[in-house]
Amino acid sequence: YYFPCQRWLAVEEDDGQIVRELVPVDEAFVKKDSENDGQSLATLGLEQKAKSTTYTVKVKTGDKKNAGTDANVFITLYGSKDDTGIVSLKASKINKNKFERGKVDEFTVESVDIGDLKKIKIGHDNKGNSTGWFLEWVEIDAPSLGQCLKFPCGRWLDKSEDDGAIERIIFPAELQTTEYIPFVPYEITVYTSDIFGAGTDADVFIVLYGSDGICTQQKSLCLNKREQRMYFERNSVNQFIVELEDVGDIIEKIRIGHKGGGLNSGWHLDRVAIRRLLPNGK
């Protein structure tokens, strides 16, 4: 069994996760890759990402005295097929100090397909100075399901409050579930030209257009400024797996550009190749 990763396990890199679920890939894929250069080695990590689905997890701390916590918070998502295992909520995308009174924090959780979301377990390790936590709600956006689910709590996770529990199992509120068109993964390969000054450090984005006026949201290809500096160098090929709205079998056009700014924003783009991946990763 071959379990390639080729991705960061770091709070300040990639999606901020320090634990990854890996699924096996075909042995021939690994052997073919080892014969090629380092550029293609990165495609193994993308192979993993194509077999995963991404969840955006928002957590609301209540607006009560001492509601915030310094403890380490974890979550497990349970689906109809599987669960994510315990995921530490380390890197909030919104706040440097997470789980503060009255604040909403946002996290990325990546997992193999667990099916329809049924429940979550959320809790903390009770470590630190002020550990008690009043959890208002958790919201989970699952693009591959086309669902945004709300998990109301409104209770303490505190050994000296309520029933003394520091972890809770919460079920979604059906009336607060939002449905939309499910997202699918696209493999986007970007070729930067081989001419002087062709590379860019700007924030590159893309929009895909299908027939009947369907289009995706505008999506940045890089997750952070460090990736912007790494990618889109002169004469480079960069590949991304991006979950976007399904525009159908035919992509009629794309819009690609960047947001300017910085010292080296000008970019000479050679071409873009896009593959719509089917759910089984093919």
Tens-digit pLDDT profile for residues 19-74: 777 777 766 655 555 555 555 556 666 777 777 888 999 999 999 999 999 999 99
> pLDDT by residue (tens digit) across 157-194?
999 999 999 999 999 998 999 998 889 999 999 999 99
Residues 237, 206 share a domain: yes
% pLDDT > 70, the chain: 91
List alpha helices for 181-265, DSSP H. 225-230
Residue 140: give its domain's CATH number: 2.60.60.20
Task: Quote the tokens at residue 217.
Answer: 């949201």
Using CA atoms, how far apart are residues 226 and 228, in angstroms rounded to an integer?
A: 5
Please count the structural domains in the chain: 2
Question: Do 90 and 197 fall into the same domain?
Answer: no
pLDDT, position 279 = 61
On whether the CB atoms of residues 75 and 119 are closer than 8 A, the answer is no
Over the Cα atoms of the chain, what is R_g?
21
Give domain status of residue 118, yes or no.
yes
**Residue 16, SS3 per DSSP:** coil
Tell me the percentage of the chain whose pLDDT exceeds 90: 57
Residue 88 lies in a domain: yes
CB atoms closer than 10 angstroms to residue 91 = 20
| pTM confidence score | 0.79
Q: Are residues 110 and 188 in the same domain?
A: no
Are 147 and 174 spatial neighbours (Cβ–Cβ below 8 Å)?
Answer: no
Q: What are phi and psi of 4, to 5 degrees?
A: -70, 155
Which is nearest to 130 in space by CA: 150, 93, 156, 168?
156
**92: number of CA atoms within 13 Å, CB side?**
17
Residue 282: pLDDT band (50, 70, 90) is very low
Q: Mean pLDDT over all residues of the chain?
A: 87
Other beta carbons within 10 Å of 93: 14
Domain that holds residue 189: 1-37+182-274
Tell which wins on pLDDT, 94 or 20. 94
| 141 domain-assigned | yes
Residue 27, in any domain of the structure: yes
